[in-house]
Every structure is written in C-alpha cells, then in structure tokens.
Chains A and B, each alone.
Chain A
Amino acid sequence: MKECMVRLIYCEMLGYESSFGYIHAIKLAQQGNLLEKRVGYLAVSLFLHENHELLLLLVNTVVKDLQSTNLVEVCMALTVVSQIFPREMIPAVLPLIEDKLQHSKEIIRRKAVQALYKFYLIAPNQVQHIHDKFRKALCDRDAGVMAASLHIYLQMIKENSSGYKDLTGSFVTILKQVVGGKLSADFNYHSVPAPWLQIQLLRILGLLGKDDPRTSELMYDVLDESLRRAEINHNITYAILFECVQTIYTIHPKSELLEKAAKCIGKFVLSPKINLKYLGLKALTYVIQQDPNLALQHQMTIIECLDHPDPIIKRETLELLYRITNGQNVIVIVQKMLDYLKESQEEYAIISLVGKIAELAEKYAPNNEWFIQTMNAVFSVGGDVVHSDIPNNFLRLLAEGFDDEKEDHQLRVYAVQSYLALLEEEDKLYPQKFLQVMSWVLGEYFSLVTDVDPEVILTKLHSLLKKSFVTSETKAWIMAAATKIASHTSCSKTVDEIIQELSSSLDTCLRQYAFELKHLCEDKALMKTLLPFDASCSDLVVDASLSFLDGFVAEGLAHGAAPYKPHHQRQEEKLSQEKALNFEPYGLSFASSVSSSGVTGRQSPTGLSFGSDISGNSAETGHKETNTLKLEGVRKLWGKEGYLPKKENKTGKENEPQPVPCGSLLAGQVGEAPALQPEQGASLSEEDKEKQQLASTLFIGLGSSAGVSLMGKADTATQKFKRKSKITETQQLSEEASDFQNSAASNFDPLLDTIPVNVEDSEGSMHTGLRKGSPSSSDTVEDNLAFETPQSLRKSVLDDRISANRLSQSSLFADNNIEIFQPSSSAQCESASETPLVPSLPEELEELPHSKVVGLCQSDALALHLCKVWTDESLLLIVFVSNKTTAALHAVNLVFEETEHFQILESATSHFPVIEAQSVEHCQKCVRMNKVCTQAVLPASVGYQSEMETCLEFSVTLSLMDFIRPMEMTTEDFGKLWLSLSNDVKQNIKMSPCQDSLSAALDTLQQKLKLHRVDVIGNEGILACQLLPCVPCLLHCRTHSGMLALWFRSPCAALPDGLLYQCQKVMEES
C-alpha cells in the first residue's frame, strides 16, 4: 500500500488526476504502522486542499495521534495539521495543541506553534485567546520554537502594528543575539548566523517602526550592527542587507543610517553581478520616493540598465523611472516605456505597463498633441487587454475637460484630427477598444473640426461597420457615433445606406439602432434636442423605475393582462404549484431530510429551540421551509433590491427591460407616444453616458484619483514656476537650474555635465519633502493617540445611549453633551494649537447617536476634525475643515481614497471653493463596509491653496462596530432566516463569575454590540443584527457550566468571525 501511495504521489506530480486514491491515503494514515502512517499523512497533505470533503475524515486520526504517547506520531499529526486542516474542525484539536506548547521536546513545541500559525492564518479569531502563549513561545529557550513564533507575529503585526509596540524591545534583543552569533552553529549558513531568521526579524522591525519615531529609536543600534556584520561577500548577506535597507527606509529616518543604506544600494547597483544589480534596482525603487537624490547619483547606471539586454532588468528600471516621473521627464520616460511595450509579449506585463503609461500621461502630459498621441499608442499597442478603466478615464478626461476652455477645445480638436488621420489608413487593424474610443470621440466632437465634412466621417464609420473584425459591441459604439453625427447634418446618403444595410442585420442590437436612427432622421427637430452637442457632461436623469410606462401597464391591466410578477415570485409560485401535486407525507420527508442535512452540515446544538419548533409543526411549515430554501438560491442571483438592478443594467443594450413593455416601445415608435420617444432617444446617447456612469460608480476610487491627477496636471505649470523661484532665492543658481531643467526635459545625455547642479536642485526639493513629511507623520501619531483614548469613553456613552430610549435621549444626555463632548474637544484643540475654532455638529445630526469630535490632523492653516454619526441606514463621517489663518483659503479639496474594505457612497471628494478666515466648514460622507474586517483604515487627503499648493494626508480608523445595527425581527422570522443562512461559526467563551447568568451576558452583548435581543428561552437566547446596508447576522447563545456557547450565522462568510471577535472582546472587558 505504501509503495502504491508513493507511486500515486508521483502520478499526481506529473499531472495525472488520481482522485480515486485519496481515500486510501486517509485510510493509510488511519490504520498503517508508523512508516505507513507517515506516507499516508504526506499523501493527504499533498492531495487534498483546505475545502476537500475527505479532509473531515482525517480529523479523528489527528486527534488520536495527538494523544498518542509515541513522539513520532504526535509529530506527524502536528505536521499535517500545520499544513492542512479543515477550518470548522479547529476547536476539536485546539486544546490538544495548546497542551503541546508545554511539551518537553522542542520539536513538538515548534510544530505546535506552526500548527497554531496555520490556525491563525485560516481563522484568526479562533486563536485569539492564546496570544499569551505566543508570547511564551517567543521567549522559548529553543531558538527553533522562537523562530516559528516569529511567523505568527509577523502576520499579526502586519494586520495591526500598534498592538505589539511593547514587543519591539524583545525583537531587538533577539536580533542582537542572532547577529552577535549567540545561536548554535547549527543555524549558520555559510558562516552567517540564521540569515532567514534575521530577515524575518528585520521585516517585523520595519513594520513596527513605521511612522513611529519612538519605536524606531530602539532599533537604530541593532540595524547599524546588522549592516556592519553583513559585510562579508556572499549572496545571503546581500539578502540581509537588502532587508536592512528596506527597514531603514521604512522606519522613522535617521540620517546616519540612511547614509549607510544609500552606500549599500550604491554597491548593489554598481555590482557586475546581475542578480545584485536587480536587487539594487529594487531597493532603489523602494527608497526613491523618500530620497530622489539617490537616483541622481546613480543616473548613469540607471541609463545603462535601461538598455540592458535582460528584459527583466529593463522592466525593473522602468518601474523605477515610473516612480520618479515628473512633468519634465515624462516624455522620455513614457517613450522608453512604449519602446519596451512594443517588444513585450507577455499579456500580464502589457496590462500593468499600459496602466502605468496611461497614468503618467494623464498626470504629467506637457501638451495636448503628446497626450493624444501617447494615448493612441497605448490603445493600439495595448490592444484589448488594457484594463477597461483606461479608455473610460480617457474619455472622461476629454468630456469633462480642464479649467481652461481653450485648452479643452484644442485637445478635442486634436483628438478628432488624429483619429481621422488614423482612420485614413484603410486596411489597418485596430483593437476594439481603440475603435470604440475613436468612434465616441468622433461622434461627440466632430463638429469642432470645421474643415472636415461630416459626410467624410460618416463614410469612414460606414466602412468600419462593414469590416468583419469589428465586434458587434464596437459596432454599437460606431452606430451611436453615426447617430450623433447624423443629427447635425442634413439628409445624407451614407446615413441612408447605413440604415438600409443594418435594418436587415442579424444582430438585433444593431437592427434596433438602425431603426432608431431611421425614425430620428424623419424628425430632425426632435433629433437635435435629443442629441445636443457636447452634452456628455450634463447629468441625465435616468428613470430607472420606468414610470413612463405606467400608463401602458395600466392599460394592459385594464384589458385583462396578468400583472407582472418579479422573477422570484414566479419561481415561488411555480414551486407552490408543484407542491399542490405533492402528497402530505412527501412534504414531511422532505422537511426531515432538510433538517438532517442541516445536522450533518453544522451539527445543531442540543435542543435548539426554534428548530424543534419547526419540526414539531405540521407539514405546512415543512413546505414553507422548502420555499425559503429555494428562495435563498434565487436571492443570491438577484440581490437584495429585487428586480431593479436588472432594469438598470439592461437599458444600455437592449431597450426592452421586461417582456410586457416590449411591445409598447415599438408601438411608441410607430405611433405617436411623444412622451415615450424622447426617453427612448435619450437612452441612445445615454448608452455612452451610462457606460461612463457605470464605470464611474464601479471605479469610483479610480475616478477620484483621476480627479486628482487632473488637478495635478493643471498645476504643473504653477509648480514649475514655484520651484524656480525657490532656487532663485538660493541665488546664483538660477541660470544653471533652468539649464538643468531644459536638459532634463530634452534628454538624459547631457546630464553628466550638470551633476553638481542637480544635487543642489534636488536638495532643495528634498528639504520641502522633509518638511512636508515630518509634520504629517507626527500628526498621524497624535491622531492615533487621540483615537485611542476616547474610544472607551465614547463606547460607554454610546452604550448608555442605546440602552436608553432614543426619544428621551436628548434630554437625558444633554448634560453629558456638555460635560463630556465639549470640554474634551476644546481641550484637545487647545493642546494641539491655539485655534479658537471648535467645530460642532449641525443640529439635525446632534440628535442622532454620534461620537465626539476628534482632531484628525492639522497644518499651519487648516485643522481637520471628525465626528462619526451612526444613523440607522449608514455611517456618516462628518469632517470639519477649519481655517485657522486670517485669510480665506481657496480651493480646498477633500478626497477619501476608496479601499478594499470601504466604499464611499456618492462621491469620494468634497470641494470647498472658499473657506473664510477663522471659520469652519463641514462635509459629510456616507461610508459603507464592503469587505468585512474588524478594523481598517480609510486613508484620505485634503489639498488647499494658500501661498502654495499643499496637501495633507490623514486617515480615519473605522471598526466593524461602526457598521453594525440592531435588526428587529420576530422569533419566527429568526427561525426561518437561520435555516436559510449557510456560513456559521461556533465558539465557546468563558464567562466571568460576575455575569454567569444568561441574561447578564445577553445584556452585555445587547448594549455593547448593538445587537437586537429577539427572544430568550430557558438557557438559550437569540440575537440579531445587521451589517449595513442589510447583511443579517444571527446569533444563538447558550449557557452551560460557566461557558457561553456562541453560534453565529450569516450570508457573509467573514461577518461571523468579525462579530465573534467583538463578542470575545466585550465579554472579556465586562
């Protein structure tokens, strides 16, 4: 058997499916002798994956082996657990593994830590309570155990560095010992002590010291030591040095170390060894933002690397250049990137490079011609693999324009001209996306070019329509363009031809377009109003509810048509019809099968109250149950809002959103129905519009960044100017400086001559960089502190509020408002600065539960304060921007960055044209949590113009509890919902003696976590809450012998984990 298994492993490795043997691998692990067991475990860990169903069969074996007295067996069990284990079965082995942490053999301890690391990775909340033991492992006398625990710490610190600052000292000591050679010689690799361990530690230190001068202080010595020790010439020491450099540039800077690190990088970059060169470039790329000076030192090497025969080196160099691009060097850099792009074959490389080029082009374009031409190159080389937001952004840019009307006009004219020229070449194949962009631009702005007859453009579009390589989606774009052009010309032959040809097209979509065009052509006046020139930016209101069809529907109903039913309702009815055919016993058996499947899946807790309710009831509830079950699947397909989203999606392409109004559209076209027709026509030009809108909602974060880059572009001129004036202040250099700028803009070659100037120049810019950097970093620290301290306070206030009746709250807590909120915020202001400005909430929000106003960040001119308001529907962030200066501030722009966790409803930016001196403005943002996490940071920045353009960065910490609201429901609803939810998490928590009754525990949960208490039956209680907007999470609690068994269920997989964590926290606190 053992031999067979080994052969099976080999088969699988060569790529032959051998799933038939998986079960035997498990059997072998279960029953074999020691050696066989080992092979069995190995095979299991190689064959199966985390969610494989057979894995459950292994759990019992693992438990048995963990309890074995044979060390080897325990070891094997731990090894397999640390590689693969089903998430839901962790509680079964967790106590056993915890015991192993105290084992006398270090290899067992080490493996136990590894197993816990695995658990932490797959279910962090399950091992929340053993953090103390991790600390013990970190201090273990065996280095192997300590090294294993570092992995856990690296992971934890990655997620939340602030919680482990106190361990910095320990990590530093460990690193010192390792570097000093205190470990046994077993750990040496080519006489370097434990290099991988060092790298691990350096990473941890980097994470801990980031933006934290005090913590960074502790590690300067040891970093210096590591740098010094790693001076032997061996690859592995280079790896350590690289990590050192990264850490040094990540933590709070210290000039001596920076100098040494820079020297190191220099050594790397200049090395003849290609791998080192690569490493050097990578390091340079990493540090370049903090220290552009370094790039100037190595510019000749960089240029050499740019022409390096190895494409990998080339690519890394481009990455580096991408980071140092500015308004002056953009032309050269983009040119280099395009050159590389043309040679590149790999799709993935093309996508990323194209994205970068487009970004640079938008940000730093020196003039219109260049911009359009670059984008043309991007589209034609990038082809159809380019990310769809690149063309979307580009079109948006064209449509929305900049501040300067004339510039816009030029840009558009140039775009039209260049596209016409491109289309001249008859037989050239262009990528679909490029054609789409072209047709949109031509359709929208053709009339700006006066010397070209629209007829010519139409002919070109027409010839495109005939080409076979053009997909039907692109054809739709072209048709839209043709329609727009047609609206501005008197009757043209080409239009007629197009109509004629496409009216018989096999593609229904195109045929539809042709018909629309035909009817619009018959009524020119209407057409003109429908398709006004350059209206792509004005907002069109889309009647998503299709209310204009109400009349028709009413008529249809009057004539006896059946009322329309949403899809899920139809499904339900179909089911109920089937049900009518069923006999009673059948239904019953189904119900029992459901409950039994529930049992196998999730092992229901003993005597689940509502579960028994249902099974105790008659067959009818059984049927209902089947309905809800089926509905669950449907709901997933359709989303919470029911039918609406579908309508919206459809309007773009097929203008018939539902079967009933379909006839009416045609009728409306043939007959009069003027009310209908404008809408219909509008949806035509809306197609583009809608795509854009869709894109802007989908990529709202990206959109905002485009907004930023737009600003950036408009400002490049002013920035240049300012820079120059600064240099003139430093005297005598002005001539050479402008000299340098010219040379930098034109080419790289003459740079050698001007190196001394460069250094001067960049020193100037570095100063500003430093100046900008330091206040903001200290701000964030302050900010963090400010956040931490009031949290408990805020929480307690909040709890009171929630437990109290909402209505009486304002009167009850009127005192509190004065005593707690006001003084502390003003005190904070005083301590932070001398501003007399104390922001306060507008009255209508004051009524709602809210946090106190906390300072976010400030500069000389601005102070930002934040208040969270917990409304029933959402979390509102109220940001107060106060002007501390005596002059008015102009063009203040507040931008929130969208992260993977959070979504900002409506727009992520706020713009205040003017903030008067000594006054406070506020804006509010509605935030939603997209991806569940216990706590995450929402980065944002504020830019304003006083004497010069300044940008402040800050961030807002939002926790899961900000988005949790109680969910009111009846016990019966709870039971139904419970069965329809699939993701569940169970955990037992110890209850403290003071609150060992169920009601006390429930009170705590209700008050602190905003859960709604649905019902209490005996020693069981059920609670419900929802994650905004409407993701429910149900909680079932049961007490037994001092333990509280929590059982969560939710449609969202991550939500129960997050809530469980919060529950554990509050239960520990109370």
Chain B
Amino acid sequence: MKIRSRRDKWFDVGNIMFMSAVVFVTLAPFWFAVVGSFNDGLDYLRGNVYLWPREFTIANYKAVFSDTTIYHAFFVTIGRTLIGMTTHVAFTALVAYGMSRKGLKGRNVYLVIMLTTMFFYGGLIPTYLLYKEIGLLNNFLVYIIPSLFSVWDMIIIMSFFRTIPEQIIESAKIDGAGEYRILLQLVIPLTTPVLAAIALFSGVHHWNSYMDAMMFTTKSSLEPVQFVLMRMVTDASYGESFSQQAMSAMPEEAKQVSSATLKLAMMVVATAPIVAIYPFLQKYFVKGVLIGSVKG
C-alpha cells in the first residue's frame, strides 16, 4: 500500500509537470496574440512584442468597434450559433440513434449513402443555384438549414450510442417505452458528454463561419461578426499593399493601427465570447456517468 501511494505521488508530480508544459506551450501563442492586439500598430512592425505590450493602445479595438454594424452582427452571430447548434445536435442525434440500432433495416445502404457525401462535393455554383431555387438566398435560414446535419458528427454520436448495453434498451422496451422515449429519457442522459462535445464543435463552426454569409446573402442585416471582421482586415491589409503601389493618396495616415495588430484585435474580439462559453459546457465532460446505477 505504501509503495503504491508513493508511486502514485511520483506519477502525480510528473503528470502535473507534463500538463503545465502543455499549458505553457498552448497558452503562449494565444497570449502573444492578445498582447499584440494591445500594442501600437507601427511599433508592432518591429517585432518582439511578447510578454507585455511595448506601446500600449486600445486603438485597434476602437477601430474594430468604430464600424457600428458590428453590434448588429454580434446579434446575428449569437442567434445563428444558438439556433444552429441546438437544431444541429437534435437533428443529428435523432438520425444517429436510428443508425445506432443494429436491427435497423437498410442500415448499411443508408451508411454508404451517407459516407459518400463526405467525400464528394458538387461545388459552389450548383449549391448556389439550389439555394436560389429553394429560397435560401438572403434568408437567415441559410445559416441553419444546410448545417442541420453532418455525417461526421452523426457517426461519432452513433458510436457513443452503441456503447450503451443492449440489455438496458431491451428492458426499457419490455417496459413499454417507444424508440423516441428511449432516446430522450434513457440514451441522451447517458451520452451527455458526446452531445456536449458535438454542440461545442457545431457552436464553434457557426461562430466562425463567414463564407456562407459572403456567398449566399447580400443584405447587411444578415452579416455575422466574422464576415464584418474579415472584411475589415482584408481591407486594411489591402489598403497597405495598395499604398505601396504608388497609388494611394493618403499621406501620413494615422498609423496606430496596422493590419497585423488589427488582425490580432479582431481575433480576440471574435474568439473571446466562444472561449468564455467553454467552461460552462465543461461540466458535461468532467462528470462521470454511472451506467451501473441505471442497470440496477
């Protein structure tokens, strides 16, 4: 007993050191980016801004928020993330449950139909024409409906559903529960960790997308945050490269903001909210599940 606990202690020390190292190397890039976003743009060109801003400024953030459309864009982004994430997990989990049952007729055919779509994509123009035909262009639903379902997420959820012992489901059936009730009351509570993970993946996907906004909408009332920011940054770096073409006519432009520091501020503004959500989702990952208690 004594030997084991000492071995345990060494293990813990080693593990904490290993984890601290991981924290250090993974935090560093993010930290540098945050620090850079608070640094003067012109000064940042000189590099070596790491631990702390060398010339502190909030000009980069001012520039990000000077375009007031960004507030509305946050509204759009939060809306699409919440709705998109919920509907995606619900829809995908539903299909996954059906697919997880070994007795499902036609299961292999379904699976082949599904897997094929993971590899073959028709391209942008056919997609555009399709969306036009079914009225998704310039419609908020273009953010929601095309990402309702993902084969990849379905397969992951399905594999988790399949770890639930068959007897549990069978005994529920004998008790007279229907498939939908089994899914809602038995299976989902047992697999919250994976559903939380998929929700996170989907939420991050929704939060970060801008291509769909660029391709399929033209209304500024539908612009998500990432789209507004992406344009801001390409515009800034474009302006800079353009001024080098000996064409720009703006002498002595205020230089507190450069495309590099603006990019960093943008990254912080765009990721801070989604990163802040993570700890709330985390409790679903850490909590262990007790299948035995259900069995008994």
- Bound pair (A, B): no
Residues of A within 8 A of B (CB): none
